[in-house]
Amino acid sequence: MAFWLKKLLSAWLLPLPLAFLALGLGLWWARAEATRSRGLRLAFGGFMLLYVAALPPVAFGILAPLEADMPGYSPDGGPVRAVVALGAGYHPVAGRPLTGQVSSASVTRVAEAIRVLRLHPNARLHCTGWGGEWPGSNAETACALAVALGVEASRTVVHPTPRDTEEEAIAIAAAVPSGRVVVVTHAAHMPRAQALFKRQGVHAVPAPTGHVSAAHTRWTLLPSSRALGTTEGALHEWQGRLWLALKQVVAQ
């Protein structure tokens, strides 16, 4: 129940659905004389929310703190038992290549996980993530992609049931009860992932990838769909951090 409640709230508490909700309600209220002024204000508020969320300086301003202090992975000489590629979206379609059956974010994570795995010949690659309403899973497809790119099948481990990062951490804690584990995920997601793995007693070493924010963002008042997507992705991660903090408070 908590999982689906989290999914529902996180889906609606983002600029695009909120803006369209405000626009729709505002225009509906504006049809009646008694509520016209209120409706027009609400519709204008929805429009401004969408406009501001689609501004590149706003998008990267929200994202940059999430990616701060997230350099790429380099080995420090310590032993590593596992490299974990966290799930990031799965949409199988018959006839498509493996790279087209997982999201671009998942392809990025698998590619980085393979790079890290080659630095640690004694480690195994763990792929996580469920399939949702689809047959198969993100985990199975991600590991299959890794094998297609040269990783020995005997070095892969599939975890097809975790639905979110917390469940991924629980699965890895059970599979790798000791030793260092390199966790591969997007830079903005890494701090929350590390916190969840730490709560499960996993010695997680970060291997962030998929950095988006630049060192300098050009100031512009021209909105873009890419900036809107960046804003929504960053806000989704902030929501995840808030949800984790609330769970910690409730647990105390």
Class of residue 218 by CB neighbours under 10 A (exposed 0-12, middle 13-18, buried 19+):
exposed
Every domain of the chain with CATH number 3.40.50.620 lies at: 82-209
- Name all contacts of 218-226 with Cβ < 8 Å and 24+ positions apart: 218/56, 219/57, 220/55, 220/56, 220/57, 221/55, 222/55, 223/51, 223/54, 223/55, 224/54, 224/56, 225/54, 226/56
Neighbours of 153 (CB within 10 A): 9
Query: Averaged in consecutive runs of 10 residues, what is the pLDDT profile of the chain (252 residues)?
Result: 66 89 94 92 96 94 90 90 95 92 96 97 96 92 97 97 96 95 96 95 95 76 93 92 82 70
Q: What predicted TM-score, i.e. pTM, was given to this entire model?
A: 0.89
Q: Could you say which architecture CATH assigns to the domain 82-209?
A: 3-Layer(aba) Sandwich (3.40)
